[in-house]
Amino acid sequence: MSRRPTRRRKKEFMRRDELKRRNELVGQAVALLMAGAAAMLILWKEYYENCFRQFVEIFKRAGTLQDTIHCKVEEQVAIFLHIVAHNQRVRTIRACARRSGATVSTYFNKLLKAILGMQDFFIKPPTGETPSQIEGNLRWMPYFKDCIGTIDGTYIRAKVRIEDKPAYFCRKHFIAQNILAACDFDLKFTYILAGWEGSASDSRVLADALTRADKIPLIPGKFYLADGEYPLL
């Protein structure tokens, strides 16, 4: 005669079944997460590839860059973005791109000049119209209806001659330029002033931006938002 399972054995069987079901659920959850992550990576990859293609098309349509027998426009842009985005040296990119240092340097400078020549395409001055982000928000209207953007400064690391380092040593304790930038409410730059030493105050840089030939765009009756580092003007 078969012996009936005891209560203790029944509880053990129930615990095993529950553990098995739990492991199955965990496995399913992990599989779903991995599938979701893979889908997100594919979407992000497609998004960045699309942005890259659009960036390349800008130069092709403008005619500032052309394919050569040695390097296509796509590769020229990739070399430039890799150096700028990752702060890489030419010799590092030389190994990645399998190009000589002279070739990498040539195409980097070529694309840099192309971008500088298209500054009016990339940087648009404010129109003076009330931004839609403010016009459609009862919290900001009508107090900021005449605001056309914001101004702020930032430090960008720089490499300078030894005798110039004291002037470029900023308050954050590294060698840098003090860059002034203005942007609109779509987070697009409307003005950039680079070249000032890191030791220069924000108010001094702003004073230069207001008086130089290529000064910051000003519209009568309109104003920019700025923090306490700038004088009230």
pLDDT digits over 10-69, tens only?
Answer: 667 677 777 777 666 666 656 655 666 666 666 666 777 788 888 888 888 887 788 888
Which tokens go with 155?
A: 């430090």
Domain identity same for 116 and 54: yes
Whether pLDDT at 229 is above 80: no
Containing structural domain, residue 146? 132-225
Number of domains the chain contains: 2
Q: State the chain's maximal CA–CA distance in angstroms.
A: 106
Q: How far apart are CA 55 and CA 77, in angstroms?
A: 8
Range 140-155 average pLDDT: 88
Bridge-partner residues for 177, per DSSP? 156, 197
CB 194 within 8 A of CB 101: no
Could you tell me the CA-to-CA distances from 213 to 39, 45, 73, 158, 195 in Å, in that order? Answer: 51, 43, 34, 25, 15
| 77 three-state secondary structure | helix
Taking Cα atoms as reference points, which of 158, 218, 163 lies closest to residue 194?
A: 158
Domain identity same for 20 and 117: yes
| Domain finish residue from 101, 122, 143 | 122
Q: How many residues does the chain have?
A: 233
- Whether 164 is covered by a domain: the verdict is yes
Which tokens go with 66?
A: 């052309």
Q: How far apart are CA 186 and CA 149, in angstroms?
A: 9
Domain identity same for 47 and 93: yes
pLDDT (0 to 100) of residue 208: 92
Reported as type and span, the H/E element at residue 211 is: helix 202-211
Rg of the chain's alpha carbons, rounded to an integer?
29
| Domain finish residue from 61, 91, 122 | 122
Taking Cα atoms as reference points, which of 182, 212, 210, 180 lies closest to residue 196?
A: 180
- Residues 64-114: pLDDT tens digits? 788 888 788 888 888 888 887 777 777 777 777 777 778 888 888 888 888
